[in-house]
Amino acid sequence: MSKSFAVGIVGARGYAGAELLSLMEDHPEVQVVYAGSRELAGEPVPHVEGLTFGSLDAEGVSRLGLDAIFLALPDGVGKQFVSSLGSDSAIIDISFDHRLDAGWAYGLPELFRGKIAGSNRIANPGCYATAMQLVIAPFVDDLASAPAVFGVSGYSGAGTTKSPKNDPENLTDNLIPYRLVGHNHEKEATHHLGTAVRFMPHVHPAFRGLIVTAHIPLNRPLSAESAQQRFVERYAHEPLIEIVDDTPELRDGSGIPGVVIGGIETSADGRNLVVVAAEDNLLKGAAVQAVQNLNLSLGIDEFTAIPKSTDSL
C-alpha cells in the first residue's frame, strides 16, 4: 500500500518523539516527512531513511503541506506551530497546553472516541491522567467523595531537561514525591471526569513505566467481584486495556502499548474500592495514544501501527 498521508514530528529528539518515529516506521499509510529538533538539525533521523532532522521553524513547517503534525514539545512551547498551521493540517499536541481547551478534542479514545474521530485539533492526554481516568471512569456515578490516587513513574516522565527528578544518581535508592497538590494531571482528570480527583505523584529510579493505586470511596456497597465485572464490561472491546485478577506491578506496564488494570479490592463494608493500573508513560501515556489519535483524525483504522496489548514493543 502506498503511503497516503504526510506527517511531521516537532520535538523528535525527546523521549515521546523518538517513540513516535519508531511507531511511524511501521505505519502503512503515513510517511514522516519532517522531524524537528533544534539540537539535532542536519543529522540523520533514526528509523526514516533519507530524512534529516529539520530546525524548529514554524513558518517553514506550515509550508510543507502536512496532513498532520505531532507536537512533542514541553508545555507552552508549541504555540507558534499552532498559530502557523492552517486548519487543513491535523495537530496532535502531546503537551498540556490544550487539554482543558473546549476547542480541542481530548484524545483519550477509550472514553471520548466519538469526539476525536475526524477532529483536526487533538490534545493528547497526560500519562498519569490516562491511567487515572480509565480506572475511575466506570465508577463516576457511584462516588461518595473524591478518589485519591497515589502514583509512581520512571524518570523519563520528567523529560530531558536536567532536574533532580530525572537525575539517576539522585534517584538511586530513592523515591521523590513532587507537586502533591494541583498537579496538571490532577486538573486534567478532574476536568474530564467531571468530578474532583486527588493525586500524589512520585518518581523513582526506573527509566520508564508508571503505576497508580486509586482509592475510590463509593456511595453504596460494592463487592470486588462486581467491581471487576464492571471493568470487564466497560473495556470488553478495547484491545489496549487488559483487566487482570492479580495486582499489576510497575514492570507489567513497561514496554507494552496499553494499560493493565487489576488488584481490584473492596473494604469489608464494600464502600471503599482500591484499583491498580500500570502503563508505559512513553507509550499509552504518550506516543501510542498519539498514534491512535492520528489514525482517528485521518480516518484510518485506530490501531494501525500499534501492536496488540499482549505484544512487547
Which residues does the annotation mark as catalytic?
A: 127
Place of cell 480527583: 197
Task: Please tell me what DSSP assigns to residue 8.
Answer: E
CA atoms of 124 and 72, how far apart (whole Å): 10
Lookup: cell for 69? 503534525
Q: Are 9 and 59 in contact (CB under 8 A)?
A: no
Q: In three state form, how does the secondary structure of 24-78 look? A: HHCCCCEEEEEEECCCCCCCECCCCCCCECECCCHHHHHCCCCCEEEECCCCCCC
CA atoms of 50 and 48, how far apart (whole Å): 6
5-10, strands of its sheet edge to edge? 30-36, 5-10, 68-71, 90-93, 121-123, 105-106
Q: How far is CA 131 from CA 118, 137, 213, 311, in A?
A: 24, 10, 10, 19
CA atoms of 164 and 162, how far apart (whole Å): 7
Lookup: cell for 10? 516537532
Bridge-based pairing state of the strands 198-203 and 210-217: unpaired
